[in-house]
Amino acid sequence: MRGGEKPRIREAIVVEGRYDKNTLSQVVDGVILETSGFGIFRDEERLAILRRLAEERGLLVFTDSDGAGFVIRNYLRGAVDPALVKHAYIPDRPGKEKRKKTPGKEGKLGVEGMPPEVLLEALRRGGATFLDGEERKGPHRPITKTDLYLAGLSGTPEAGENRRVLLRRLELPEHMSANALLEVLNVLYSYEELVSMGILEERR
């Protein structure tokens, strides 16, 4: 890593939970999303976001090496176009994460328990696309709930219909909630792009 910079990954990385996400976000720069464990099985909005991200930039599934991790991995294999999905695997290592009082059911370390160099090697072996410094974008202003409110996309009687119109325009699932819309907009677009498209009002 040059100058302490984290390597940037093109693909959106899918992990099981927030501790995995926190660990990985300290190692790489990129879009990292959680399945909330088996929660992905009944979360159509999250699945719709994953499908769209797969089309836009590719997905890289990075679940734990235990049985539960493979159940989630196999579910995503059937739910997202396999041609758009890569898979990274951590090695089988016995142990428990520091925050846990007892090991997991199978006594294996998960993504959150792996050292940075192991995570990076697993991503490389999984075919992750490492972007060089020239493609690195500078800090950008996040899209906020206030932006959506001012654009009439949340918090008003007409917000639901306004969202449906926008979602059709962006070719996203039309029943997406305001929170899901906010998440996917922050992944797929910059604030400046949405202003230039006339979707958001420019404000300081």
Please provide residue 61's backbone torsions phi and psi, each rounded to the nearest 5 degrees: -85, 130
If residue 85 lies in a helix (H) or strand (E), which one and from where to where? strand 85-87
140: tokens are 């950008």
pLDDT of residue 135: 46
How does pLDDT run across 20-60, given as a tens digit for each residue? 999 999 999 999 999 999 999 999 989 999 999 999 999 99
| Cα(121)–Cα(198) distance, integer angstroms | 42
Q: Which pTM value belongs to this model?
A: 0.79
Element (H, E) at 45: helix 44-57
What is the layout of strands, in order, in the sheet containing 12-15? 32-34, 12-15, 59-61, 85-87
Residue 153 CB coordination number (10 Å): 24
> What pLDDT is stored for residue 175 in this prediction?
77
3-state secondary structure at position 18: helix
Query: Span 3-24, mean pLDDT?
Result: 91
Q: Using an 8 Å Cβ cutoff, are 94 and 107 in contact? A: yes
Contact 125, 88 (CB under 8 A): yes
Tokens coding 4: 């302490």
